[in-house]
Amino acid sequence: MANSLRSEVVKLYKNLLYLGREYPKGADYFRSRLKAAFLKNKDETDPEKIKQLIARGEFVVKELEALYFLRKYRAMKQRYYSDDKP
């Protein structure tokens, strides 16, 4: 069971690291915060607590994706629609 949770944690870390490339404050800022968050919980052994932490990480993934989609939407809207009111 520990190996399956370990693989989930590694997968989550890689996914967050990939998403952090486009973070507004920069990839280095995101990477340092991500590493600190994972190192803070590295000694956790309770499987239920680990599952809760994974669920929180997956929530962060969804929030980051929403942030990026919103940013892209705003850029597209600004590109094709003017704010001038007739």
Domain ranges of the chain: 3-82
Neighbouring C-beta atoms of residue 60, cutoff 10 Å: 15
- At 7-50, the pLDDT tens digits run 999 999 999 999 998 888 888 999 999 999 999 998 888 999 99
Q: Which residue has the higher pLDDT, 10 or 80?
A: 10
Checking if the pLDDT of 1 tops 60, the result is no
| Residue-wise DSSP of 9-46 | HHHHHHHHHHHGGG-TT-HHHHHHHHHHHHHHTTT---
- The Cα-based distances of 78 to 9, 67, 75 in angstroms read 38, 17, 5
Q: How far is CA 29 from the centre of its chain?
A: 13
